[in-house]
Amino acid sequence: LKGNLPKFGVEVEDEDAMSLMVSQINTWNFDLFKFAVISKDHPLVSMAYVILQSERNLLRSYNVDPPTFIKYMFVIEANYHKTNPYHNATHGADVMQSCHVLLGYSVVEQVFTDLEVFAALFASAIHDVDHPGLSNQFLSNTSNELAILYNDHAVLENHHLATAFKFLQEDELNWASGMDDKQRQLFRKMVIDLVLATDMSKHLSLLADIKTTVESSKVAHNGKLVLESYNERMLVLQGIVHSCDISSATKALPIYKAWTERIIEEFYQQGDRERDLGLNLSPMCDRQNPSIEKSQVGFIDFIVLPLWETLGELMFPYCQEMLSQLNENRMYYFSRIPESPRCSITDEPEERNNLISSSEKRKNLR
Ligand SMILES: COc1ccc(C2=NN(C3CCN(C(=O)CN4C(=O)CC(C)(C)CC4=O)CC3)C(=O)[C@@H]3CC=CC[C@H]23)cc1OC
Ligand SMILES: [Mg+2]
Ligand SMILES: [Zn+2]
């Protein structure tokens, strides 16, 4: 199948604008929202084609037929929910592009094989396909059929993987038919390990294991990153993909704010359903008690910073710009944490006397 493919994998209005954006594909502050517009709402198809074909020539390395790969990526992109404020195809393209930047740093470029790089980029592209905009906890709490199918364990992550690989079974979408069996088996195993590692409930154990591996590797090879076993290599690759999945706070402030607005709206929509179902609302999901600034500072302090500090050690001297941007972004939200609302009991005795109790108030309102 040698159809003459468009230059960027998809037809675009403005080739010059697209070329200009693609020239920035190796930069950390790439504007995915603008890219989604210029690619005519095909950010994932065009991102995958530009990175894997034009930038890295990985499709040819594994006898992947480009038109078949494009057709497959159109199906994957169509199975990301456009109606999700956050977990849509633009997020998939964002994680893939972020992963492409980190894997381009020389400190890791020599460490990983082409197949491992291909697996990490492909895993990033498909890692949230068919995401319903609801959390694993919600799916389990509501006995969703996916939670029953996957027994409450990494429900979404198992579903993303099964969805992506099921399409690969279809002859007209099977771009992997040109790979030899051994490569295809290893590729599939790595993609599964990588996407399962994007489950936030694995975050602390993954972080602990990466720390151990980075420590032992740096000690054993006087500061050089040397990864011997499959497990060590996979751990670092899982750390890179997972870091890209929670990289919003390391991006330029306007981009970070846009992602925050989107995830918060998605959380609020889940909270609306939890409220309607009489369930306890999940953290950060109550639009009637917003805590955006505090949640971002908490998310950075408890989760994003510890992970990116570890990545910064592993990738040293790279990733320092991400860490300084992360601190700048933390200060932005920290400085906007609203004063705790003044409590109703004032400290002026006379005011206290004519203060009727809140239950009295409620009675009067009935
Ligand atoms: C741009 O901001 C965000 C982008 C993505 C996410 C996601 N959150 N989560 C979960 C992470 C763990 N979690 C927490 O509540 C963790 N957490 C805090 O965030 C702050 C706190 C309430 C003060 C203390 C605390 O425990 C629940 C949500 C996901 O699972 C999503 C899917 C996969 C990756 C990350 C993504 C959150 C963002 O801002 C909060
Ligand atoms: Mg996910
Ligand atoms: Zn994700």
List the structure tokens of 163: 């969805």
Ligand 1 pocket residue status of 338, Cβ below 6 Å: no
| Nearest in space to 203 (alpha carbons), one of 287, 304, 295, 55 | 304
Q: Which ligand is nearest to the CA of 203?
A: 1
What is the chain's pLDDT, residue by residue, as a tens digit (366 residues)?
456 889 999 999 899 999 999 999 999 999 999 999 999 999 999 999 999 999 999 999 999 999 999 999 999 999 999 999 999 999 999 999 999 999 999 888 889 999 999 999 999 999 999 999 999 999 999 999 999 999 999 999 999 999 999 999 999 999 999 999 999 999 999 999 999 999 999 999 999 999 998 888 877 888 788 888 999 999 999 999 999 999 999 999 999 999 999 999 999 999 999 999 999 999 999 999 999 999 999 999 999 999 999 999 999 889 999 999 999 999 999 999 998 776 555 555 554 455 455 556 555 554
What's the chain's length in residues?
A: 366
**Alpha-carbon separation of residue 212 from 33, 103, 219, 267 (angstroms):** 37, 21, 11, 33
d(CA 14, CA 272) in angstroms, rounded, equals 40
Taking CA atoms only, the protein residue closest to ligand 1 atom 35 is 246
Taking CA atoms only, the protein residue closest to ligand 1 atom 28 is 283
ipTM: 0.97
Ligand 1 pocket residue status of 299, Cβ below 6 Å: yes
Burial class (CB in 10 A: 0-12, 13-18, 19+), 240: buried
100 catalytically annotated: no
R_g of the chain computed on alpha carbons: 23
CA 235 to chain centre: 17
Q: Do the beta carbons of residue 292 and residue 286 sit within 8 Å?
A: no
d(CA 315, CA 256) in angstroms, rounded, equals 22
Ligand 1 pocket residue status of 295, Cβ below 6 Å: yes
Task: Give me ligand 2 centre to Cα 46, in Å.
Answer: 21
Taking CA atoms only, the protein residue closest to ligand 1 atom 17 is 299
Ligand 1 pocket residue status of 132, Cβ below 6 Å: no
Ligand 1 pocket residue status of 197, Cβ below 6 Å: no
Which residues keep their CB under 5 angstroms from ion ligand 2? 128, 198
Task: Give me ligand 1 centre to Cα 299, in Å.
Answer: 6
